[in-house]
Chain A
Amino acid sequence: MTAFDESRLHELETLTRDYARYSRSAGGLASVLGGLCCIASYLAGGLLPSSPALRIALVALPLAWLLAKQVLARRYYQRFGHVEEQATATVRRTHAFCVGVVLLVAVLVTVGTRAWPFGAGKLGYLALLWLLVPASWFWLRSPLEFFVGTFLFCQAAVSWAGFAYPVVGTTAAAANPPMALLALLFPLAALLFIGTGMADHRRFLALRERLAHLRDAGDGA
Chain B
Amino acid sequence: MSGTSRIGEVMALDRLVHEPARLLILAVLANAREVEFGFLEQVSGLSKGNLSSHMSKLEAGGLVEVKKSFRGKRPLTELRITAAGRKALADYRQRLAAVMQELPEAPTPRK
Contacts and interface: CB of A to CB of B under 8 A. Distances in A.
A221 B36 contact: no
Contacts of B31: 13, 16-17, 20, 86
Contacts of A219: 45
Given A1-B23, A80-B38, A221-B24, A12 B43 contact: yes
- 6 tightest CB-CB pairs across the interface, nearest first? A220-B45, A81-B39, A81-B38, A81-B36, A221-B21, A84-B34
A86 B28 CA distance: 12
A85 B33 contact: yes
B45 A83 contact: no
B39 A19 contact: yes
Interface residues of B, number: 25
B30 A220 contact: no
Contact of B96 (A1, A13, A82, A214): A1
B34 A83 contact: yes
Nearest to A21: B32
B73 to A, nearest CB: 17
A219 B24 CA distance: 12
Interface residues of A, number: 25
Interface of B is mostly: helix
Interface in B20-73: 20-21, 23-24, 27-28, 30-46
B14 interface: no
B35 A83 contact: yes
Given A9-B23, A85-B32, 8 more contacts: A12-B43, A16-B39, A16-B43, A83-B36, A83-B39, A215-B42, A221-B44, A221-B46
Contacts of A1: 20, 23, 96
A128 B60 CA distance: 48
Contacts of A83: 32, 34-36, 39
A113 to B, nearest CB: 39
A84 B80 CA distance: 10
Nearest to A16: B31
Contacts of B33: 20, 84-87
Contact of B30 (A13, A80, A85): A13
Given A80-B38, A81-B38, A221-B45, A86 B32 contact: yes
B46 A220 contact: yes
B21 A82 contact: no
